[in-house]
Amino acid sequence: MDSVISLENVGKVYRNGGVDTPALSSINLKIGKGDFASIMGPSGSGKSTLLHIIGALDKPSSGKVIIDGKEVSKLKEPEIAKLRGEKIGFVFQFFNLYPTLTALENVELPMVIAGKEKKERVKRAKELLEMVGLKEKANSFPSQLSGGQKQRVAIARALANNPLFVLADEPTGNLDSKSGKDIIDILENLNKKEGKTVVIITHDQSIASHSKHIIRIEDGRIVGGAK
């Protein structure tokens, strides 16, 4: 299996007031194309740091991060931005939708940033909203949507530029169990039917049970599941 994400001996140390706090050490990890991986660990284990590094939002203090065959630390800022925009689809725990834009416009946003044509954007955004079952909510603002609906819009937004993988950070952490299950179903379908690579960070065992590949992390080290 081709690897979409590859971490080689990655370490992360936070320096604060001359004190070094290690967050991750010696992480070796490969996530292949079409994988459905869960990264699990208790809070403070370093899973959020790992998510940021996989998502090219943060740089490791040591080691290599290779996404789609490119070593992230060797890329310049605009190239990293492009990588985030076109290869990675983020889904956040708190949705992070743009409050002044409609659902449709929120889904369009990554395509706006990527410089795509209006016509193409609207067409794709409508298809994606239909896919997550929110066709009729296209013109609603985030404040008019329920938590589950917001997260579905966020998933549609994550898929806008047809990314290489979807990176979800506790996607059900802020939802009731029914909505949470809907979200996991959507992500699972995406993986099964379209072969989309999905990486979920969670501490919820029931979500992890849906995944093909569970990576457990404790005290900044992988304690099981890495390939």
Distance between start and end Cα atoms, the chain: 11
- Best CA proximity match to 198, nearest among 161, 167, 163: 167
**Residue 13 contacts another protein per CB under 8 A:** no
Which of residues 26, 61, 62, 96 is near another protein by CB under 8 A? 96
123-125-129 Cα angle (round to 5): 120
| Contacting another protein within 30-89 (CB under 8 A) | 52, 55, 57-58, 77-78, 81-86, 88
**Residue 147 contacts another protein per CB under 8 A:** no
| Contacting another protein within 158-217 (CB under 8 A) | 161
Give CA–CA dist 204/26, Å, rounded.
25
Chain position carrying tokens 């979800």: 168
Nearest distance from residue 78's CB to another protein, in Å?
A: 5
**Residue 157 contacts another protein per CB under 8 A:** yes
Give the binding site for another protein (CB under 8 A): 52, 55, 57-58, 77-78, 81-86, 88, 90, 92, 96, 98-101, 109-110, 112-115, 157, 161
